[in-house]
Amino acid sequence: MTGVLQKRGFCCANFGLTISTAKTVIRHQSPLSAEYNAPQINVNGAQLKNVETFTFLGSTLSRYTRIDHEVAQRISKASQAFGRLQASMWNRHDIHLNTKLEMYKAVVLMTLLYVAETWTVYSN
């Protein structure tokens, strides 16, 4: 893996780009039945930090195959979106109910279901 990152770093350097070792993290995915041994990967002389979870494009990625944390995050963000619309939308009597429903679908449900099609389905 270190070799791949070194090659990518050399290619990026041709275009004036650099890999930020302070921002770059590693999330190693090993089989759940195997003991977790985090790899030691170095780029430009700096060792990259190993993490259990991180957020990428608004989704929380974890080394575990469960989505419980991601679902909890989505519910929290949808609840926050609903709360932010309390004074400007839900409590106003001059806004038609259909408009409120469309706002609910567009803001709250979209926040809740963002990237839900990529979630691993399992029985809990």
The count of structural domains within the chain is 2
Per-residue pLDDT reduced to its tens digit, 40-59: 877 777 888 888 887 778 77
Is residue 85's pLDDT more than 90?
A: yes
Q: How far does CA 120 lie from the centroid of its chain?
A: 14
Nearest to 74 by CA among 103, 116, 117: 116
Q: What's the pTM value of the predicted model, to 2 decimals?
A: 0.62
Note whether 44 and 100 are same-domain residues: no
- For residues 34 and 99, the model is more confident at 99
Nearest to 53 by CA among 72, 69, 37, 33: 69
For the segment 55-84, what is each residue's pLDDT rounded down to a tens digit?
A: 778 777 777 767 888 888 899 999 999 999
Whether residue 43 sits in one domain with residue 58: no
Are residues 124 and 104 part of one domain?
yes
Write out pLDDT tens, residues 20-31: 878 888 887 777
Question: Residue 115 — pLDDT band, cuts 50, 70, 90?
Answer: confident
Nearest partner of 64 among 82, 51, 79, judged by Cα: 51
Cα angle value 59/61/67 (rounded, 5°): 85
